[in-house]
Amino acid sequence: MRMGIDRNLLATNVANMDQLQRKIVGGLLVVLFHNPSRIQDQEWLLEQLTQVMILAEDFKSPEAVQAYLKAHVHDLLNTALRIFGCVGEDLAPRATEGITHQDAMLLALTYLDRPETSLDKPST
């Protein structure tokens, strides 16, 4: 039996993120929507997360990147993967109509833009 995504927990996680963390999650989601078949490849996910982090922030050294990654990897990956899952659930009823990467990203951004409220399924 498959369990659904706890959208209230997701809302709490997003609410606790700062702007940089949300920017990184958004960037990682772009990558995930373009490469959904790679989502279970943990090494690839970490590589993509690191690249997105470097693009999102001007880290002063490789050590600073490593320290930030070590401190935030769990929250960043879990939040991105949960949003990815929610978007998949939300867009599933429209699958026969054809879904674009833009549709997925626009919906994903709604999860990042409303941290103070519950993430009940948005109207699509």
**pLDDT tens digits for 67-119?**
999 999 999 999 999 999 999 999 998 888 888 888 999 999 999 986 444 44
What is the longest distance spanned by two Cα atoms in the chain?
47
For 20-72, how does the pLDDT look when each residue is reduced to its tens digit (9 = 90+)? 999 999 999 999 999 999 999 999 999 999 999 999 999 999 999 999 999 99
pTM: 0.84
